[in-house]
Amino acid sequence: MGDSGGSVVSVDVERISFGGKEHHIQTNYGPVSVAVYGDHDKPALVTYPDIALNHMSCFQGLLFCPEAASLLLHNFCIYHISPPGHEFGAAPISPNAPIPSVDDLADQVADVLDFFGLGSVMCFGVTAGAYILTLFASKYRERVLGLILVSPLCKGPTWTEWLYSKVMSNLLYYYGMCGLVKECLLQRYFSKEVRGFSELPESDIVQACKSLLDQRQSMNVWRFVQTMNERYDLTEQLKQLQCRTLIFVGENSQFHTEAVHMTSKLDRRYCALVEVQACGSLVTEEQPHAMLIPMEYFFMGYGLYRPSQLNCSPRSPLSPFCISPELLSPESMGVKLKPIKTRVRLEV
């Protein structure tokens, strides 16, 4: 692995993490951890998780789904970028280190691509991670072939969200990853049915998420919350995106309205919105099976298929064709995925 940017160096972590190799990369915007899964010769899929999550707590549900794992790992080498200090075993970031801006984190993604010698990539982000990768796509349009966004953010925080984040920041700063902070985060990620209530116990995925949240360094999470609370509106930049975009959002997500707004601002010829009923923001964990067929149709536009349908090499360069007609058919989607609604505007 080369260093294509003179000031970008890396220290490899010689260990296997859940089947992937983890790399600690020193970028121009601070260190970052990247877990790599799959064949480096295949096209690259870059992921970025939501606040307080990393690739295992944000994408394991999807990748533990055999059909989705088959689709993704057959066609891509996956590069899981963790927000600074969110990787397993992360040490607390020095309080003297400057808090990165959202632009710094987007530019950090470019440094990661340079380190691995990657040109154009597919991007897959969840909520805060979706914002970072959308910003990256707007700044480096030639480097993004497509966007898969889950419950994405694209506007600046509302006063309500800003205040809510300030309260959570104060709790993290003074009390660490306490029960109240975890409850705030779980409300952000999951629907009420999955979180449980008096008559219904919380689900296994919520229990697993709680356990993983306990492993986060609270001050590192605090820094990412601070960064996202200073984000700015990307609405104007959305009009300039040149890649195809597939957006998933849970019907009960706190960010449902924002996902609909984002869809309305993107080029309608190359964008589709999939709304997942009875689901919160973290669709990758709560209802990963609902993502499979839309992603299959999305990838068909690039000539990529699951192994049983393979009729071309996944190692061939991706080319961003227009969105597949099947993806633009709500009737077809409705038949195949009953818990799914699609919103696509077609030009007559």
- Cβ neighbour number for residue 64 with a 10 Å cutoff: 11
More confident residue, 315 or 254: 254
User: Of 278, 214, 282, which is closest to residue 252 (Cα–Cα)?
Assistant: 278
Give me the residue label for tokens 């979706």.
130
Instruction: Answer left, alpha or beta for residue 248, where phi above 0 means left and psi between -120 and 50 means alpha.
Output: beta
Instruction: Note the pTM of the prediction, 2 decimals.
Output: 0.86
Mean pLDDT of 27-38: 95
Among 145-154, 167-176, 328-337, where is mean pLDDT lowest?
Answer: 328-337
More confident residue, 323 or 211: 211
In this predicted structure, the answer to whether residue 266 has a pLDDT above a threshold of 90 is: yes
- Cβ neighbour number for residue 345 with a 10 Å cutoff: 12
In this predicted structure, the answer to whether residue 66 has a pLDDT above a threshold of 50 is: yes
Q: What is the pLDDT of residue 300?
A: 92
Instruction: State how far the Cα of 264 lies from the Cα of 322, in Å rounded to an integer.
Output: 18
In this predicted structure, the answer to whether residue 199 has a pLDDT above a threshold of 50 is: yes
Mean residue pLDDT of the chain comes to 85
In this predicted structure, the answer to whether residue 11 has a pLDDT above a threshold of 80 is: no
User: Of 38, 7, 12, which is closest to residue 24 (Cα–Cα)?
Assistant: 12
Instruction: State how far the Cα of 179 lies from the Cα of 164, in Å rounded to an integer.
Output: 16
Domains, in order of start, for the chain? 21-155+232-301 (3.40.50.1820)
Among 5-9, 62-66, 181-185, where is mean pLDDT lowest?
Answer: 5-9
Banded pLDDT at 343 (limits 50, 70, 90):
low
pLDDT digit string, tens, across residues 249-263:
999 999 999 999 999
Banded pLDDT at 61 (limits 50, 70, 90):
very high
Using a pLDDT cut of 90, give the percent of the chain over it. Answer: 72
- Is the distance from CB of 169 to CB of 225 less than 8 angstroms? yes
Mean pLDDT of 101-113: 98
pLDDT digit string, tens, across residues 317-335:
454 444 444 444 443 333 3
More confident residue, 265 or 199: 265
Q: What is the pLDDT of residue 268?
A: 85
Banded pLDDT at 198 (limits 50, 70, 90):
low
Instruction: State how far the Cα of 304 lies from the Cα of 313, in Å rounded to an integer.
Output: 8
- Give residues with Cβ within 8 angstroms of 75, minimum separation 6: 42, 43, 299, 304, 305, 314
The first and second tokens of residue 244, run together, are 């195809």
Q: What is the pLDDT of residue 318?
A: 53
Could you give the angle at which helices 204-213 and 55-63 cross, rounded to 10 degrees?
Answer: 150
Mean pLDDT of 114-127: 97
Amino acid at 313: S
Instruction: State how far the Cα of 35 lies from the Cα of 11, in Å rounded to an integer.
Output: 13
What are the residues facing 250 on neighbouring strands? 276
Mean pLDDT of 96-113: 97
Q: What is the pLDDT of residue 203?
A: 86
